[in-house]
Amino acid sequence: MILTPITPDRSRRVACAADMPSTVASIPRGRMAQILAEVGERARAARFEIAPNPAVGAALVAADGSILAEGRHLVYGGPHAEIEALRAYRATGRPMADVHTLAITLEPCSTTGKTPACTDAIIKSGIKRVAIADLDPDPRHRGRALAILGEHGIEVETHPGAAPLSVVSPHFESYTSYERLRRPRPWLIAKWAQTRSGHLSPPEDVGEGRWISSPESLREVQLLRSHVDAIVTGVGTVVADDPRLTVRFPAGLDRPPLRVVLDTELRTPPDARIFRPAERGEAGGPVYILCRAGANGVRHRELLAAGARVHPLRPGADGRVHLRESLEWMWRFGVRRALLETGPTLLSSYFEAGFVDQVRIYTGNVNGGRGDSLATLLAGTKLLERSDREVGPDAVLEAFVGRSSR
C-alpha cells in the first residue's frame, strides 16, 4: 500500500513511482507506525551528540513486521541512521531479499555534506520499499528524497504522527527555521565547569586552584572537542589561562577543529601556548584571531609571524568584535558546530544575544570556590529537553536553549 501524495511545499505533488500500486503485501500500518515510534524514541538518546543534525532512527523490517536490524545517528559528522541500519543488517549475513521495508523516522538526506547522500545508499542496497514518519523541514530539501527514490522504482509510504520531528528532534526544527536559513550561523554549544556552589574557579587548595572537573570529565570534553568544527574562546581566557585548545582524545584526529580567538584589540601574546606545535598524539587546528579593523598593527604582524591568521571584522555597538559578524564569518569558513570555551563575560554576551543553542555544564565534586558564577545567567535561561547524568564523581547537565530568532 502506498500513501497518498507527498509534497515538498504541501501544494505540489511529487511525481514518483511510489504513486503506483504495490504488488507486494504491506506490513500493517499500525505495526509500521509502532516500529517508527520505537526507533524514534531510541534515537533521541543521542540528540546532544548529533545536534544540530536531527536525531533519526531507522530499522530494516521483515515481511512479518519483525525488526531485522536497527541503526541511529550517533555522533555529529558520523554515519546517518539508514547507513548504520544497513551495516548492522549486512553484519548478520542475511540476504537483502529478506528485507521488506526500510523504516526511517525522517526523510533521508539527498545531498552530500559531511557524509554521502543516504538516498544513494538506499538505491544501491536494492531495498524496494521505504516507510517514513516525517518530511525534512528544510524547504530546500523537503520531498526531494521521496522523488529521487520514486524515480528509481522504490515504493514510499509515510506515517504522519508516528514519530513526529517535533517529538523526536525538535531542535532540528529550530535549526531549520526561516530566520536561521535566511541568516545562517553555527550551532553553538556553551560548555563550562563549576563547583557545587556554582563558582567557576575552585578553592586555591583544590586542583592547583584551576581544575574542577574529574579526569573522566576532562576526557569526555576532549571527545566533544573532536566532534565540533571550531573551538571558540576570548582573549581574556587566552591571557588568563593560556590554553592550547587541542584535541588529545581520540589521538591523531585528521581534521581538528579550528581554534578561534575573539580579540578586539589584538592582545593575544605571540608566545601563547596556542601557537606551539602539537605534541605527540595531539591535534590542533589552525588559529584564527578575529579583531576589529585597524587594531594594533605591530601586534598584527607579530601574530602572523607566530602562525595566526588574523581577520579584522566590523565592531559592534560596544566597540568589540561583533558577535553576529564573527558567527557569519565562521559559517563562511565551513563551521557548522562550534564549542564555546570562554570566560563568563564573553559567554554572557553570547547568551544575551540569543546565540547559544545548547549547554553542557560539569559540576565537579568540589565545595566552595572563587570568582565568577553563572548561576544568575542560567536561572534566566530556558532549558529544553534537559538531561542530568553522572561522569565519574561529576554531575553533567545537558540541554537545548530556548529558541531565539536573533
Residue 80 known to bind ligand: yes
Q: Quick one: 113 exposed, middle or buried, by C-beta within 10 A (0-12, 13-18, 19+)?
A: exposed
**pLDDT mean over 222-230:** 98
Q: How far apart are CA 255 and CA 234, in angstroms?
A: 22
**pLDDT mean over 259-264:** 98
Ordered by start, the domain boundaries in the chain are 17-169, 178-401
**pLDDT mean over 281-310:** 96
Instruction: Clarify whether 82 is annotated catalytic.
Output: yes
Q: What is the pLDDT of residues 317-364, one digit of tens each?
A: 999 999 999 999 999 999 999 999 999 999 999 999 999 999 999 999
**pLDDT mean over 202-227:** 88
CATH class of 178-401: alpha beta
Residue 225 known to bind ligand: yes
**pLDDT mean over 87-98:** 97
What the block records as the C-alpha cell of 3 is 500513501
* pLDDT classification of 370: cutoffs 50, 70, 90: confident
Q: What is the pLDDT of residues 45-73, one digit of tens each?
A: 999 999 999 999 999 999 999 999 999 99
Q: What is the pLDDT, as a whole number, of residue 26?
A: 84
**pLDDT mean over 284-305:** 96
| Position 6 pLDDT exceeds 70 | no
Residue 264 known to bind ligand: yes
Share of the chain above pLDDT 90, in %: 83
The one catalytic residue in 41, 49, 70, 82 is 82
Q: What is the pLDDT, as a whole number, of residue 209?
A: 61
| Position 115 pLDDT exceeds 60 | yes
**pLDDT mean over 212-227:** 96
| Position 252 pLDDT exceeds 80 | no
Of the candidate ranges 125-139, 244-258, 338-352, the one whose mean pLDDT is the lowest: 244-258
Strands 230-234 and 258-262: parallel
Q: What is the pLDDT, as a whole number, of residue 208?
A: 65
Q: What is the pLDDT, as a whole number, of residue 24?
A: 55
Residue 15 known to bind ligand: no
Amino acid making up residue 81 = A
Q: What is the mean pLDDT of the chain?
A: 91
Residue 211 known to bind ligand: yes
**pLDDT mean over 208-233:** 92
| Position 38 pLDDT exceeds 70 | yes
* pLDDT classification of 405: cutoffs 50, 70, 90: very low
| Position 20 pLDDT exceeds 50 | no
Residue 29, CB half-sphere, CA atoms under 13 Å: how many? 11
Residue bearing cell 605591530: 298
Residue 16 known to bind ligand: no
Segment 108-114 long-range contacts (CB within 8 Å, at least 24 positions apart): 108/80, 108/82, 108/132, 108/145, 108/149, 109/80, 109/136, 109/141, 109/145, 110/141, 110/144, 110/145, 110/148, 111/141, 114/77
CATH entry, 17-169, from 3.50.50.60, 3.40.50.620, 3.40.140.10, 3.40.50.11890? 3.40.140.10
Residue 241 known to bind ligand: yes
